[in-house]
Amino acid sequence: MNIEKGRCLGLVGESGCGKSTLGRMISGMERPDTGSVLLDGLDIYNKPSREIRALRREIQIVFQDSMASVDPRMNADAIISEPLINFYGLKGQCLDDRVSELLDMVCLPDGDKTKYPFQFSGGQLQRVCIARALASEPSFIVLDEPLSSLDVSVQAQILNLLSDVKKATDVSYLLISHDLEAVYYLSDSICVMYAGMVMESIEDIGDFYKLKHPYSLKLLSLRGKCGADSTDIENVSDSEDRIKGCPYYSRCPKHSEQCKNALPSLEKIEEGHYIRCYNY
């Protein structure tokens, strides 16, 4: 996958399909077995060690589980200050002002500086983590379910903020989310994953409604339908035994004999639209 400067790629997919793992690999935290990750054309896993530090500033990640991603002994001030001190050498009043500014951007009051992680609600801590990621003014941010515990009104504020920051600084995002409406709002392109593979990708979010992989269609059909009488959901015999063919085979309404025996490759079906399916 490619993410251009100042653009956002939305990544959606089944729970457990490898989105967070992919996010960690792209941000340099987990070395892939094969393949490479290029930032500005340079392989991030093959860099001279003196450049690693700069890399840490360039790529930031907002983790899915905010409680597990912060040091419980650091207060919000220390959490957000850390990158400001390390990368920009800020101190004193400057540092203090910048931390206040960042807290304000994520809609938290100044008084929250002295609070420790366990003193925040789920959504408040998630915003502290977003402030920290923005602090180092990176060129690329992996956002792993950044909205998952925010109420809709704060979600709107954060989505607008992310969109403003993107316009102002040309930062690029990988947005991992199950919230299709949020993905639609912030992303410029979209990628659908299933069982560790990209099943479909669309380069222009304007073509959102052209998504046509059977799994993508399933996701689209479920929007806003929670709890509706659920007889229409297929009965799954999920045996994880990796079959040779398509991993979606057993759930797919369109499967054929071919799908069972050989994995389809990711094919270009029109400009900017790729799909991994024989029978779309």
Which residues sit at the interface with other proteins, rule CB under 8 A? 12-16, 20, 64-65, 67-68, 107-109, 111-112, 120-124, 127, 145, 148-157, 159-160, 163, 178, 180-182, 184-185, 208, 218-219, 222-228, 230, 233, 236, 238-240
DSSP string of 111-158, one letter each residue: GGGG--GGGS-HHHHHHHHHHHHHHT--SEEEEESTTTTS-HHHHHHH
Q: Does the protein bind Mg ion through residue 16 (CB under 5 A)?
A: no
Residue 238 binds what, of Mg ion, ligand ATP, other proteins, none (CB under 5 to 8 Å, by partner type)?
other proteins
Distance of CA 68 to the CA centre of its chain: 17
Q: Does the protein bind Mg ion through residue 27 (CB under 5 A)?
A: no
Residue 184 binds what, of Mg ion, other proteins, ligand ATP, none (CB under 5 to 8 Å, by partner type)?
other proteins
Query: For Mg ion, what does the binding mask look like between residues 106 and 125, x meaning CB under 5 A?
Result: ---------------xx---
Q: Does the protein bind ligand ATP through residue 17 (CB under 6 A)?
A: yes
Closest CA to 265 of 212, 199, 217, 204: 199
Q: For tokens 């200050």, what's the residue?
A: 81
Question: Distance between CA atoms of 128 and 106, rounded to whole angstroms?
Answer: 8
CB-wise, 228 or 265, nearer to other proteins? Answer: 228
User: Residue 63: phi, psi to the nearest 5?
Assistant: -80, 155
For the bound state, the minimum distance from the C-beta of residue 59 to other proteins, rounded and expressed in Å, comes to 21
Write out the two tokens for 255: 């499967």
CB-wise, 196 or 272, nearer to other proteins? Answer: 196
